[in-house]
């Protein structure tokens, strides 16, 4: 389970660097992140992207500022208001993905709890650093630990869609959900890696994913490095692909899965789900529990980030450029998590208990 592309490099009190994903695959260049402001900038500019990675980068932005003692914080009240303010700026950088919000609020809770019994601000700062470093390790484990998402997803899809014991399957994915979007193995791409690793994958088709081309640049690169048989298609070719090729399942990532199973993911995901339904193709969302938001009951309440029109055109025409869409739960066959695969209804019951 090699992590071929290291998306972040961090050493406490020394450095924090992110792989500039705007330059991949042509160049592998790391940007030095020296502050939370730098982290917010890298997230907004899409130098780093993907829901789990955004949370890691945001938290490491705080860690590098604290670890290098860039800001002067003299007591625990100052530390708490500093953390609250920085977390809010990081959440606002890209509002649709829930991971930064969830981890940020967990960090605030953790610090508030610690501060009840501790006055020494340098010990509290170290507590925060350790918490953030553990978050990174945990994310790596979630991804890697027996590659749980990959394993559960591959099993569920093969069980339902493999035509015979020898038959290999074709699948379709969108955007980039691999080691570049997480701290390790990947979510939807993790399932695809597992299918390939077990010899069950004939071909993965993947969309170019305009306007940032996370598919044709980033996923293409990861698939080539791993030598996974793959074919790139234009975003507009998905229905025609399903009509003409034997596609068993669509496997996508998630920026936020809400309580009823409605799922926000890269713009274009919703139309994949509609096309899948029309062609009898399975539609799976692969997401760790860190991307599940039980505080929101339906997808209507998810804030969808709208990005500048200049990302799409330079000639002054009017543009609507939503970065994500919401796939309704009734189009989702299964939600693949690190603890198993659930239908949206099953997930709802689980979140309720």
- The residues binding ligand MRU (CB under 6 A) are 49-52, 97, 175, 177, 181-182, 187, 214, 253-255, 265-266, 323
- Give 7 or 265: the residue with its C-beta nearer to ligand MRU: 265
β-pairing, 256-258 vs 292-293, is parallel
- Residue 25 preceded by cis peptide, ω within 30: yes
Of 102, 40, 75, which Cα lies nearest the Cα of 291? 102
- Give 36 or 267: the residue with its C-beta nearer to ligand MRU: 267
Give the nearest distance from C-beta 94 to ligand MRU in angstroms: 7
Give the nearest distance from C-beta 120 to ligand MRU in angstroms: 38
DSSP state of 321: -
Which residue is nearest to ligand MRU, using beta carbons? Answer: 253
- Give 66 or 148: the residue with its C-beta nearer to ligand MRU: 148
Rg (CA), the chain: 20
Give the nearest distance from C-beta 253 to ligand MRU in angstroms: 3
- Give 241 or 326: the residue with its C-beta nearer to ligand MRU: 326
Residue 145 CA to residue 143 CA, distance in Å, equals: 6
What are the C-alpha distances in Å from 254 to residues 62, 79, 243, 248, 284?
A: 25, 32, 25, 20, 10
Burial of 139-153, coded b for 16+ CB within 10 Å and e otherwise, reads: bbebbbeebbbbbbb
Give the Cβ contact number of residue 78 at 10 Å: 13
Give the nearest distance from C-beta 288 to ligand MRU in angstroms: 8
Give the nearest distance from C-beta 81 to ligand MRU in angstroms: 29
Residues acting as catalytic residues: 255
């Amino acid at each position: 389970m090699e992590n071929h592309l290291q998306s972040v490099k961090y050493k406490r009190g020394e450095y924090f660097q992110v792989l500039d994903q705007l330059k991949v695959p042509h160049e592998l260049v790391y940007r030095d992140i020296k502050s939370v402001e730098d982290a917010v900038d890298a997230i907004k500019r899409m130098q780093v992207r993907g829901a789990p990675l955004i949370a890691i980068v945001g938290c490491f932005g705080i860690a590098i500022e604290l670890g290098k003692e860039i800001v002067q914080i003299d007591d625990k009240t100052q530390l708490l208001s500093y953390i609250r303010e920085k977390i809010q700026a990081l959440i606002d950088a890209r509002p649709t993905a829930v991971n930064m919000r969830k981890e940020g609020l967990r960090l605030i809770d953790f610090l508030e709890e610690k501060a009840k019994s501790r006055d020494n601000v340098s010990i509290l700062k170290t507590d925060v650093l350790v918490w953030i470093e553990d978050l990174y390790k945990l994310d790596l484990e979630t991804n890697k630990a027996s590659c749980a998402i990959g394993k559960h997803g591959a099993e569920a899809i093969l069980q339902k869609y493999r035509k015979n014991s020898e038959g290999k399957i074709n699948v379709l994915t969108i955007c980039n959900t691999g080691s570049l979007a997480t701290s390790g193995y990947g979510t939807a791409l993790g399932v695809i890696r597992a299918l390939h690793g077990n010899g069950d994958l004939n071909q993965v088709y993947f969309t170019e994913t305009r306007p940032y081309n996370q598919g044709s640049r980033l996923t293409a690169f990861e698939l080539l490095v791993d030598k996974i048989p793959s074919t790139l298609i234009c975003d507009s070719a998905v229905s025609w692909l399903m009509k003409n090729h034997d596609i068993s399942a669509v496997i996508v990532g998630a920026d936020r899965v809400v309580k009823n199973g409605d799922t926000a993911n890269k713009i274009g995901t919703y139309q994949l789900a509609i096309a899948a339904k029309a062609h009898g193709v399975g539609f799976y969302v692969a997401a760790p529990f860190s991307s599940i938001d039980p505080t929101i009951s339906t997808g209507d309440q998810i804030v969808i980030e709208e990005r500048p029109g200049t990302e799409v055109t330079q000639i002054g025409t009017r543009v609507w450029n939503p970065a994500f869409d919401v796939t309704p739960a009734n189009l989702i066959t299964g939600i693949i998590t690190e603890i198993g695969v659930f239908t949206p209804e099953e997930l709802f019951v689980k979140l309720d208990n």
